[in-house]
Each structure stands twice: as C-alpha cells, then as structure tokens.
Amino acid sequence: MQALEDKKKQLATWKVRCLDSKKKAKEKAKDLEVDVEEWKEKYKRIEIELKDLKKYVVSDT
C-alpha cells in the first residue's frame, strides 16, 4: 500500500513539474512574439531611413 501512495506522490510531483514547464514555455513564447514584433518595427524604421538616405548618395562620375 505504501508503494502505491509513493507512486501517487511521484506522479503528482511530475504533473506539477510538467504543468509548470508548460506555463513557462507559453510565457517564453509570448515574450518571443513581442520581441519579433519589436524587431519588425525596428527593421521597418531602418528600411525607411535607408530609402531616405539614398536620396543623398553622391556618385563620383
């Protein structure tokens, strides 16, 4: 009977760890999505700046 109770405790502990890991993974995914959006915005701004700078390119010919 003790072995069965030990197994139940072990499984409960495993379940808690698994759910915690899943929660952490979801939080990390959300953080990464925010990072991706920030990088997209920065890329767009840099691209616009580059287009603006191309107007001022001086050629040597």
Alpha carbon separation from 50 to 45, 54, 55 (Å, rounded): 9, 6, 9
Alpha carbon separation from 59 to 36, 48, 49 (Å, rounded): 36, 21, 19
13 inside domain:
no
Helix (H, G, I), strand (E, B) or coil at 55: coil
Read off the pLDDT of residues 3-59 as tens digits, 9 standing for 90 and up.
989 998 898 999 999 999 999 999 999 999 999 999 999 999 999 999 999 888 777
Provide the domain count of the chain. 1
11 inside domain:
no
Helix (H, G, I), strand (E, B) or coil at 46: helix
Residues 6+ apart with CB under 8 A from 9: none
37 inside domain:
yes
36 inside domain:
yes
pLDDT for position 26: 95
23 inside domain:
yes
Does pTM top 0.85 for this prediction?
no
9 inside domain:
no
In terms of residue numbers, what domain contains 29? 19-53
